[in-house]
Every structure is written in C-alpha cells, then in structure tokens.
Structure 1
Amino acid sequence: MGSRRLKRRTGFLFQVAWLRVDTQTILTIANHVITKNHRIGVTHSEHKTWLLHIRDVRESDRGNYMCQINTDPMKSQIGYLEVVVPPDILDYPTSTDMVVREGSNVTLRCEATGSPTPNITWRREDGELINLGNNQEVASIDGPVFNITKVNRLQMGAYLCIASNGVPPTVSKRIMLVVHFTPMIWIQNQLVGAQEGQQMTLECHSEAFPKSINYWTRENNVIIANGEKYEPSFSDNVYKVHMKLMIRSVAMSDYGSYKCISKNSLGETDGSIKLYHIPTPTTEPTTTSTLPVPTTVDLVENIQWSRQKPMPSLEPSSNEITDASLSTVVRSEETRFRGRPSHEENHEAENVIDTNSHKSVDNDIGQRRIDNTAQSMSSKSSTWHCVTRSSAAICIIVLSALS
C-alpha cells in the first residue's frame, strides 16, 4: 500500500500509519515502528509506496491490517493476512498401538491441527483392503474416528492415520492393531498312506497370536526331534504357521498316528494325522495261450451240422427237402452207385430223378458239387431250399460225399 506526500495549507505533511484492526494496535507511523514486536518493520519508496514487513510469520499473525493516512477526512485501506499451516497430528487424543482380544469392539482416533482444517484418512500400511466385516472391504476410511465391530484376526495389522489440507507436507501416524486369539489348527489330509521305503511329508496349518510354540509328537506323546529319520520344519507369516514333518524312509514302525501341536499363552490345540500302510505291488508273470486254428474238415463238419438242423416250417413247400424225399433220394443214390438196382428201388428213384435226363444230371454232378460246396461254405442260413426236387436230391448227395 502506498500514499502520496501531501501538504496542508498550514504547511504540515500527511503521514502514513499501519494498524492491527482486530486489536486496534498501532504498528508503525511514517518510518517509526511503534509496536514492541521485533518481527514488525516498515519501508517506503519515495514516500509513495509504504510496505509493512512481518518476519517469521506465525498463525497468530492472521487477521486484518489497515493502512491509514491522516487526512481530513481520514483515508484508509484494509487487507487480510491469511496464514496457512501444514497439518500436524496431535499425540494425546490420537490412538496408540492397541492389543485386543478377537471379537471385541475397537475404536481408533486421529486428531490433527492445521490451516485449513486437515482431512483425516485411514489406510492399511501394507496396501491391502480394510476388512469391515460382512464381506465388505474398502480401500480407505474417511474421518477422525474409525470403529471396528467384533474385530477378527484378518483385521490385525498396521494402520496409517493420514492428515492433509493442501499445504505440504502431508503427515501420517502409524497405529498397530494387534489381535490376540487362541491357537487353531487346520489339516488338509488326516489320513495318509505310504509304502515302505517311501519318503513322506505330513503337513499342518496353525494360526495363533501371540505367536505359538509348534511341535510334532507320536502316539506316546514324545516330541519328534530333527534327526536321521525325521525332519520337522516350520514357516510362519504374522499369525500363520505351516508345519511339516518329513519321514525320510517309511518303515513298518512309522505307521500310526502323529500329532501337530500349537500352544500360546491363551491356549493349546492339536491335530491328528494317521499314516497307514500301502502294500508294495508285486509283478506276476503273464502267460500266453495259443488257440488251435480250425481245419477245413472241422469247418465243413460245422457247416454240415448247421445244415442237418434246419429251422422248422409249418408247411413244407414243393421246393423243400422232406423226410420222405430224403429217404428216397438216399436209396436211389445207393442203388445207382452199386449198379444193382431193384425194380422197386428204380421205381422210387424214378419218382425223384427223371430217367430220360439221368445222363445229363450225372454229367453236371461234378460242376454242381463244387458250386454247392462253395455255397454251403459261405451261407449262414440254417435251412436249405432248392429250386426243384431233382436239385434238392443233388444237394443232399453233395453233403453226403463231403461227410
């Protein structure tokens, strides 16, 4: 702010003064500092521009300041000084590290000062989502108070109370929430089988806080130590422990029950695993049998057997072989080969075979025998039908010759 050097008619100069409005305190008049505050100073440029200086500004310096010229009437101008303050977390009202039992209610508080008033945000230090229960998870919680109902082991960890108001730097405070609970053991396979000489590893999963003491025992409650036969191992992560027991070479004496035990100041629990014997498989020699290959004679006999038992028909047709015709044909054939047919036999044979065509039939027997044999070898029917009675007689003669 500035003012011109004015001259009254009386010859006096007008003077510039700085005042604190809220306290009505005169700070400077012309080149002189009136207040006893050593942080206050004043300068001017050719008596036209007057500057008020405040060193090492504090929050208490916030307020209205007036530049005044003692004219008649008086002239003045007011300016407001805003002092911003970065956030600062107050130790006393802010929660410290907490240790609670699982299932209890927890309240975390965070108080901060600053100008403007800081905003408070809660986050997990490990970057994981905040578990609110009822399958609800959020990245952050806003507000100075963070309530947890029925806290569980999943909510255990370090939380950050972050205060920010746009004025750097942003500040935070780390609050560790520790949840105590009795040990719990989870076993994936409670019944495990192994063969003799096999390497086997038994496994248990334990959860406990404060951290538990973990070990393995046999049926006689003797603690299993690390040695040539057994190798127990434990790997932990916060409140979780993965317990393993490796049996380098299983013997008959190793079968039975094993216990994994977890114990802390709040309680003790154990889990049981039973190791049972799996017999070692034995290799038996395999035998190979060779089936006999049927000969041509056997095949023909089988075909003849199927031909000798035709499917019964209700009414014999003129083209089928009947019992009467069969006996007649056989007798006629026997007579023809012997060369001494009787009168009655010739008469019966004439009923089946025409004497006028007897020579042509004999000439065709060789060819028909081959054709009919091939047909009997390939046919799968249980009955045999022929075209005429003479053809039926020839078919039967072929079968008799083959047998």
Structure 2
Amino acid sequence: MSVRGHLVALYKCSLLLSLRMLLLVPTGLPVSTQGDSQSDNKVMDNITVRQGETVFLRCAQGDVVTHTAWLNRSSILYAGEDKWSVDPRVSLVTLNQEEFTIKIENVDMTDEGQYVCAVQTSSRPRTTSVHVLVQVPPKIINLSRDLVVNEGSNVTLMCQASGKPEPSISWKLVSSSGDLASDDEYMEIPSITRQRAGTYECSAVNEIDTDVQTVDITVNYAPTVSEGRDVGVTLGQRGVLECEADAVPEPAFEWYKDDRRIFNGFDGLEIVKTASLSKLVFFNVSDGDYSNYTCVALNKLGSSNTSFLLFGPRAVQDGSGGSMGVHLHTCLLLLVFLPLLLKF
C-alpha cells in the first residue's frame, strides 16, 4: 500500500474512533438509545419512500462544526465531503454551515432502516436520527400455470405475491357474473364443470399499486349432439343434413346410412366440417338417397349420436292426405250420429 493509502486509512480510522469517543455511535448500541447529558439527540419523523424513488436525508448544522457524518447503522456514508460508501446511488447534495444533505437514488428494500447524522460542534456533540421506510408495489411471484382438466376434476389455483405493505390477494372468474371468487391465495373449484372453464384473474393489491395476472382453464367433456331434424327434398334437388355437437376437445364426426358408414365422396355425397358442425350434402337427390341417416360425434372422452330422415315430397303429401282423410271421416260420422245422441 502506498503512503497516501496508509494516510487515508489512518484518517478514516481516526475519524471513526473520534465519532465513537464523542458518543455519537456507541459500539453495540443503537444511536437512539444515547442519553448523555452533554449531547443533544433528536429523532425525526419516519421518512416513507416508494421503491425506485429518491430519498433525501437532511440534518441541520449550526454553530462551528468540527466533524459531521451521515451513518447507516454502523456504516459511515459520508464524513463531511468525503464519501465513504461505495454505493454509486449515494451522493452529497448540500454541505454548509446550515445544512448537511445526502441522497439515495433508486431506493430498494435493503435501504430501509435507521440513518444518523452525527455532528460535533465547538460546544457539544449531537445526533439526528431518522428511520427510512420503503414501500414496495405488489408483484405476483408464484402463479398456477394454465390448466387442461376433464369435467368433474377438483382444481386448485394458487397465487402468491410480495410487496410492502403486504398485498391482499383475490381470485375471480373473468367470464362469470361474480358468483365464483375467492379472497385468498388459493381458489378451490371442486368437481369443475364446463361452465367454469375460462380465464381466472388473480389480483394482488396494496396501497401502492395493483398487479394482475391470469390463468386459463380448459375443461374437456364428451360430445352432446343436438337432436336431428328430418329433411324433405325433391328428386334432383340439393339436400343438406346438419349435425351440431358441443364438445371439448373439438369432436370428430362420422356419418352412417342405416348401418353403413359414409365416407367423403361416397355416391356423390360430400361431408363438410366446420368446428362443431358437420354437414352431409346431397347434390342431386335420388330415390336411393331417401333413407335414415345417423351422425356420430366423438372425442377422447366419449361419443354421442342422432338420427335423420331424408324423405321426398310424396311422403309428405301422402302422410298429410291420409291424416286429413281420417279427420274428415271422423267429422262426417259425428254429423250423422250427433242428432241421435242429442235425443238421449
């Protein structure tokens, strides 16, 4: 070490010893416990600052100051104009006969604690202490991942957050009317149904800010097919049978004529699928197309089916004509026998 280095080290050592001998920083005792009759110790109000902001530490000088320093616990930050702290965020703002002010930029939780301004004047030593409180906005640090579950499963969502003051945590189903919510880190969903699928929002809130993150839950369930609707088509015309199913994952469809499966292009038929809907398209209906058809929707959880009847207009006329004939015959019988019945 050079001579200059030895001198600087000796100076710092002597200054630290001087501060302790002046009872400004008694070894092993917090500054606020000093009670010497020849010293003037002042405790300032707490300073509350948000994480990332800048805090200014000020203390009055006055009289003829021989030594002055800002300390953090047992570490000296500044001794007069000499910076002892290696932290680049700490810097000197003002040092004159009236005021000694330093600042700490980009404050973090590690900066929270007690700070002491120690002053030795021509008449007596004194200290001014202040406690810095650091507020931290909430941050969600542990969150459940997106889930894919089968209907009927028990689901637990977890959301944990840090912050100061300690944040409150709540859950809600975004797509719900508000009947599914929780004011806790955990949200329990027993026997989940398809209606409970969707986006769940976790909110962590304190008086500083709010942090919000989401979890998506996909609920798998077996297909449910809508009831088939019979279709009447004239010979030579285009006809369509539509089969719609509700399922997650998206269902596959199979078509059958009687017990024989129909494939795309079978006898000039086309099968068109769009999401949860399948269509069986007849481009030129013939007598051989009039029959019963079955649509089956299936995924890995199960299947469901429904039946259709493709019929011609003659069947409609015959059916309606026969029905009208029966009703007409019944009316005629009533007209004949009504007078006889009235006599009794």
**Bin of the TM-score, shorter chain as denominator length:** 0.5 to 0.7
Contact persistence 2:81–2:95 (CA under 8 A): no
Partner of 2:225: 185
The residue type paired with residue 90 of structure 1 is I
1:19 aligns with 2:71: yes
Between the aligned partners of 2:236 and 2:207, the Cα distance in structure 1 is 70
C-alpha root-mean-square deviation of aligned residues, in Å? 3.0
Contact 1:39 1:54 in 2 (8 A): yes
Secondary structure (helix, strand or coil) at the match of 2:156 reads strand
Query: CA contact under 8 A between 1:187 and 1:203: conserved in structure 2?
Result: no
From the superposition, tell whether residues 4 and 222 of structure 1 become closer, same or farther in structure 2 (CA, over 3 Å): closer
Q: Does 1:31 align with 2:81?
A: yes
Q: 1:147 to 1:50 in 2, by over 3 A?
A: same
**What is the letter of the counterpart of residue 112 of structure 2?**
R
SS in 2 for 1:154: helix
Which residue of 1 is the match for residue 244 of structure 2? 205
- Counterpart of 2:60 in 1: which secondary structure? coil
* Aligned residue number for residue 128 of structure 1: 175
TM-score (norm 1): 0.56
Deviation at 1:139, TM superposition (A): 7.8
Q: Give the aligned partner of residue 225 of structure 1.
A: 264
Residues 1-400 of structure 1: pairs in structure 2 closer than 5 A: 1-7=58-64, 13-20=65-72, 23-70=73-120, 74-91=125-142, 94-124=143-173, 128-129=175-176, 137-138=178-179, 141-165=182-206, 167=208, 170-189=210-229, 191-226=230-265, 229-236=268-275, 241-279=276-314
The answer to whether the 8 A contact 1:6-1:14 is kept is: no
Which amino acid is the alignment partner of residue 69 of structure 2?
A
Shift of 1:107: 0.7
CA distance in 2 between partners of 1:268 and 1:15 (Å)? 88
Task: Using the TM superposition, give the Cα deviation of residue 102 of structure 1 relative to its aligned residue in structure 2, in angstroms.
Answer: 0.7
One-letter amino acid of the structure 2 residue matched with residue 147 of structure 1: E
Take 2:119 and 2:312, find their aligned partners in 1: how far apart are those partners? 107
In structure 1, what is the Cα distance between the partners aligned to 2:274 and 2:110?
57
Q: What is the CA–CA distance in structure 1 between the aligned matches of 2:67 and 2:94, rounded to whole Å?
A: 12
Once residues 277 and 212 of structure 1 are traced to their aligned partners in structure 2, the CA distance between those partners, rounded to angstroms, is 31
More strand by percentage: 2
Per-residue CA deviations over 1:353-390 (Å, capped at 9, x if unaligned) read xxxxxxxxxxxxxxxxxxxxxxxxxxxxxxxxxxxxxx
Q: In 2, Cα distance between the equivalents of 1:203 and 1:160?
A: 38
CA displacement, residues 206-241 of structure 1 (integer Å, 9 cap, x when unaligned) = 1222332223221142224157853433232xxxx1
**Which ranges of structure 2 fall in alignment gaps of 5 or more residues?**
1-57, 319-344
Cα contact 1:163–1:171 (8 A) shared by 2: yes
Change (3 A) 1:226 1:142: farther
Measured against aligned partners, the alpha-carbon deviations of 1:46-66 in whole angstroms (never above 9, x if no partner) come to 331111222332211122322
Deviation at 1:78, TM superposition (A): 2.9
Q: Report which of the two structures shows the higher radius of gyration computed on alpha carbons.
A: 1
2:147 alignment partner AA: M
Deviation at 1:167, TM superposition (A): 4.2
TM-score, with normalisation over the residues of structure 2? 0.64
Q: How many residues align?
A: 259
1:398 corresponds in structure 2 to: none
Residues 91-125 of structure 1 show CA distances to partners (whole Å, capped at 9, x for unaligned) of 4xx2112222211111111112123333434355x
Q: Considering Cα pairs closer than 8 Å and 6+ residues apart, tell me whether 1 or 2 has the greater RCO.
A: 2
